[in-house]
Amino acid sequence: MACVKFGSKVDAFQRQGQAWFCTTGLPSDVVVEVGEMSFHLHKFPLLSRSGVLFRLITQASEPEEEEECVVDLHDIPGGAKTFELVAKFCYGVKLELTASNVVNLWCAAEHLEMTEEHGEGNLISQAETFFNQVVLRSWKDSVRALQTCDDVLPHAEVLHIVKRCIESLAAKASTDPNLFGWPVLERGGPMQSPGGSVLWNGISTGARPKNPSSNWWYEDVANLSLPLYKRLIAVMDSRSIRQDIIAGSLVFYAKRYLPGLNRHHASSDSSTHLTPVTSGSPPSEEDQKILVEEIDQLLPMEKGLVHTKFLFGLLRTAMILRVSHSCMSNLEKRIGMQLDQATLEDLLIPTFSHSMETLYIVDCVQRILDHFLAIDRVTGAASPCSIDDGRLIGSPSLKPITMVAKLIDGYLAEVAPDVNLKLPKFEALAAAVPEYARPLDDGLYRAIDIYLKSHPWLVESEREQLCRLMDLQKLSLEACTHAAQNERLPIRIIVQVLFFEQLQLRTSIAGCFLVSDNLDGSRQLRSGLIGTNEGGWTSAVKENQVLKVGMDNMRMRVSDLEKECSNMRHEIEKLGCVKGSSTWGAISKKLGFRIKSQMCSAEEGSVSNQNNNGNIKIEKLKDRHIVKQKKSSCISDKESVSSIVSS
């Protein structure tokens, strides 16, 4: 910290209790009262430097009595500590002028009229020169000087000290620090040469210093009082500093003085490593309440500038401190703008009132969701979409609202076990999410099931009304299977679930049979569009067509085998009536059946070879499985004939 030294005399001031004495060998002839402190001094050093002291001492000395002259300076800026430095300056005692005392000394000198008329190089000129040439050029000194303005704020405002400090700080914060080397030099970084390279023992190394981040000034300005900090942020905003940088400073300042925010772990962002450890006693609840309201006013109303977790922490703190309604509404709107970035843990805001109506504040989440949906409608994100195999098909702008829908379903499942949660509140929150935002209703079904389990006293009509919130056609097969066996659901809902479950099964089975034809059709179309250069696709299509013909022949052959097996069953039944005469006929049937089964095996082998050579799709393997089943049926019939013949 830069300083200027004045005077050359040895310090001759001694303190005894609440009094200061100047031990120069001469008895004091004037007593200056500053608050509870008394200064026993001499008239001449004071008269020669201050116009105010000259008039006061002259007036007090008019009776010319032998008693000491007493002067009262109860309104001097800075109090007794500052007047001690002023007295030392008047006596020519060694004194250091620094950024920590220059403001108080300047204000006190102006109050005492210590101008050049009462002595060359007086305190006003010395303090003003040091402030302009030293303090304002340094970031650290400007911050220290601005901090001391709180004690003498009215006098500092008159002298424009506060304004000039703030303008200096705002100018430095808005300037690229890479251009001048500060604040790296001031913050303990490496020394730099005029060319900007790092110095080692005064020798240029040629290395360039690391670029400082944009949040290098957060910690310094966080030491300012709230009124001065507000004015600094306002000036920075007028200088077009990026909104995200200003928002980061506000977050840092709030974490410094709001202990409740430090209980929640913020995600890793650019300023997390700067989070200071709060020392000393925290501010009073009233001061914290004012701070929350001021932070809300200063934060830019823009999405994504502040992390959602911080906003939720600020909202919880605001609820505890019982801030104004407008502040609460603004915080809810800010969260609603970026609700898609929230987590389930963020939404679980416990009830802070003593009534304990519900475990969590559901109404607050309802209002936040309403703000999000209002913004979503304005931005035009609510566009039609379709669902295919459980996936949402539509505009990419639908992704935020689908994330919010999933988040709300999870929140409903968490608050559903609360027995004090009324059905209208649960229904209102569940119904607020648009239907197109839920690709599947499995999450909503889970929440409704938990609510029904925790509220067994609901009547049948209320259960049906609650279940109507679901779209049963958007339940997965697993959810349908669970719902079909769920005794908590109304009978009508279970019947509808069973119907849609059967419908889904039929659709799935039909899709399995048609997938082969669809693939072949798409391949033929693709091969027609592809040029003659891609012969691989053409050959693959031809092989698939040949295999398809083979499979069609196999289906016809299996049908013939079924007919022959049916005829054989009738012949076997006749054998039971005429045993002896039909023995050779049965044997011939047996031999004929062997021939048929061998034909089946041969046909199956040919199909298997075609599958291996053509790399056939899974649908061909299904037909192979059908042939195996028919073969097994033929073999079982053959064994039955053999047993009859042997008997």
Residue 107: which CATH number? 3.30.710.10
Domain count, the chain: 1
Q: Are 175 and 35 in contact (CB under 8 A)?
A: no
Per the model's pLDDT, the better-predicted residue between 5 and 100 turns out to be: 100
Q: What is the pTM assigned to this prediction?
A: 0.70
Give the separation between CA 140 and CA 145, rounded to whole angstroms.
9
Residue 16 lies in a domain: yes
* Longest alpha-carbon distance in the chain: 166
Range of the domain at 40: 3-177
Query: Does the pLDDT of residue 644 top 70, yes or no?
Result: no
What's the Cα-to-Cα distance from 326 to each of 251, 322, 323, 329, rounded to whole Å?
20, 11, 8, 5
Q: For 155-172, what is the mean pLDDT?
A: 95
Residue 80 lies in a domain: yes
235-254 in b/e burial notation, b at 16+ Cβ within 10 A?
bbeeeebeebbbbbbbbbbb
Cα dihedral 422/424/430/431 (nearest 10): 180
Q: Are 77 and 104 in contact (CB under 8 A)?
A: yes
Residue 48 lies in a domain: yes
Residue 127 lies in a domain: yes
Q: What is the pLDDT of residue 175?
A: 79
Residue 416 lies in a domain: no
Q: What is the pLDDT of residue 261?
A: 84
Tens-place pLDDT, residues 85-123 = 999 999 888 888 999 999 999 999 999 999 988 888 899
615-638 in b/e burial notation, b at 16+ Cβ within 10 A?
ebeebbeebeeebeebbeebeebb
Residue 255 lies in a domain: no
Q: For 23-33, what is the mean pLDDT?
A: 83
Query: Does the pLDDT of residue 251 top 70, yes or no?
Result: yes
Q: Are 63 and 19 in contact (CB under 8 A)?
A: no
User: Mean pLDDT score of the chain, rounded to an integer?
Assistant: 77
- DSSP character string of 570-596: HHHHHHHHS-STTHHHHHHHHHHHHHH
- Beta strands 37-41 and 30-34 are antiparallel
Residue 54 lies in a domain: yes
Query: Does the pLDDT of residue 183 top 80, yes or no?
Result: no
Q: What is the pLDDT of residue 373?
A: 94
Q: What is the pLDDT of residue 579?
A: 47
Per the model's pLDDT, the better-predicted residue between 329 and 478 turns out to be: 329
Tens-place pLDDT, residues 361-402 = 999 999 999 999 999 888 764 444 444 444 444 445 578 899
Query: Does the pLDDT of residue 359 top 70, yes or no?
Result: yes
Q: What is the pLDDT of residue 127?
A: 94
Residue 139 lies in a domain: yes
